[in-house]
C-alpha cells in the first residue's frame, strides 16, 4: 500500500497536501475546496488521503476501500453501554478508581 497523503490547514490559513514520504514536496492551496479536489485526484490513483479539519482532527479518509466497493457490515452489538459505564471501565483499567 502506498504511503498516505495528509491534507491539513497550514500556518498561512491555506491548505496543504503533504505526502508521508520524506522526499515529497508539499502543495499549498488557497482554500479547502481546491485542496479536496486535488486530494480526490490523488485518492483516485490508489493513494489514501487523510483529511484533517482546521482543528487538526481527522475528518475523513479518502481512497481506502473505494476500489473494491465492498460494503462494510456493522459489528454485532451484544450489550448497550452508557458513556458513564464506559468511563468507569476506562478508569478501572487506568487504575484511577
Contact predicate 28/15, CB 8 Å? yes
Would 23 be classed as within a structural domain? yes
Would 32 be classed as within a structural domain? yes
Cβ contacts of 69 within 8 Å, gap of 6 or more: none
pLDDT digits (tens, 9 = 90+) for 10-68: 888 899 888 876 666 788 999 888 988 888 888 777 788 888 888 888 888 887 665 54
Would 17 be classed as within a structural domain? yes
Q: Decide if pLDDT at 77 tops 70.
A: no
Would 9 be classed as within a structural domain? yes
What is the bridge-based pairing of β-strands 5-9 and 49-52? parallel
Determine if the pTM surpasses 0.75.
no
Would 73 be classed as within a structural domain? no
Q: For residue 21, what are the domain limits? A: 1-68
Would 38 be classed as within a structural domain? yes
Would 30 be classed as within a structural domain? yes
CA-nearest of 9, 4, 16 to 43 is 4
Would 62 be classed as within a structural domain? yes
When divided into structural domains, the chain yields a total of: 1
Amino acid at each position: 500500500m502506498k504511503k498516505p497523503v495528509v491534507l491539513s490547514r497550514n500556518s498561512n490559513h491555506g491548505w496543504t497536501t503533504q505526502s508521508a514520504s520524506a522526499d515529497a514536496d508539499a502543495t499549498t492551496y488557497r482554500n479547502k475546496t481546491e485542496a479536496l479536489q486535488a486530494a480526490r485526484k490523488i485518492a483516485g490513483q490508489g493513494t489514501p488521503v487523510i483529511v484533517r479539519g482546521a482543528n487538526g482532527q481527522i475528518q475523513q479518509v479518502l481512497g481506502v476501500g473505494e476500489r473494491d466497493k465492498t460494503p462494510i457490515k456493522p459489528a454485532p452489538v451484544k450489550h448497550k453501554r452508557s458513556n458513564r459505564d464506559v468511563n468507569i471501565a476506562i478508569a478501572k483499567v487506568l487504575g484511577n478508581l
